[in-house]
Amino acid sequence: MTTPTPPKRPPTTLPAPGERRLAHPPSDRYRRKTADAPTADTPPRPTAPSRAAAYGLLAALVSAALIVLFGGVLAVSAGLLIVAALTGRAVGLGVVIGAGSSLADTRRVALAIALATGAVVLGQVGLWLYAQTEGGVLSLIDYLGETFGILVPLQVALAAAVAWWSAR
């Protein structure tokens, strides 16, 4: 018969206190990793309040044109709520990307809400003007009330809410 070989055991010598070091402190896992933080070899992205207004205004103008396209040319009514939500999101992100950290949070949110609601109102005026070219005779308020009803204030509220959420 053969004698069994004893199992291999780990070394019984423990490292002395103070010899072990972690690669990173444990608190590093709570530190926010930002994609906006410039590294040593990349220049920081330029940001300014005027850039925030320009990006947000560009998104607002495109959104107003989309409202006229969907509501007037394509004759979609309930789908304008989706366009309003996308308006708020696009304007909010445009303001955030353009502003970076150059605007205070409250001003950034206020700018996004103002531009988003302005885009929806401009789109509604564009819808009315489109209806005038098609032979419409109603005034602005009468036309929007008769054609879209409660959807108009819902669009404004939805665009403002999504812009607030996107820009905070």
Tell me the per-residue pLDDT of 17-33, one tens digit each, with 9 for 90 and over: 666 677 788 888 777 66
Confirm whether 114 is domain-assigned. Answer: yes
Confirm whether 9 is domain-assigned. Answer: no
Confirm whether 147 is domain-assigned. Answer: yes
How many domains are contained in the chain? Answer: 1
Confirm whether 158 is domain-assigned. Answer: yes
Instruction: Determine contact, residues 160/88, Cβ cutoff 8 Å.
Output: yes
Range of the domain at 122: 49-167
Q: How does DSSP assign 31-69, residue by residue?
A: SPP-SSS--TTSPPPP--HHHHHHHHHHHHHHHHHHHHI
Tell me the per-residue pLDDT of 72-129, one tens digit each, with 9 for 90 and over: 999 999 999 999 999 999 999 999 999 988 888 999 999 999 999 999 999 999 999 9
Confirm whether 43 is domain-assigned. Answer: no
Is residue 11 scored above 70 in pLDDT? no
Confirm whether 103 is domain-assigned. Answer: yes
Confirm whether 17 is domain-assigned. Answer: no
Q: What is the pTM of this model?
A: 0.72
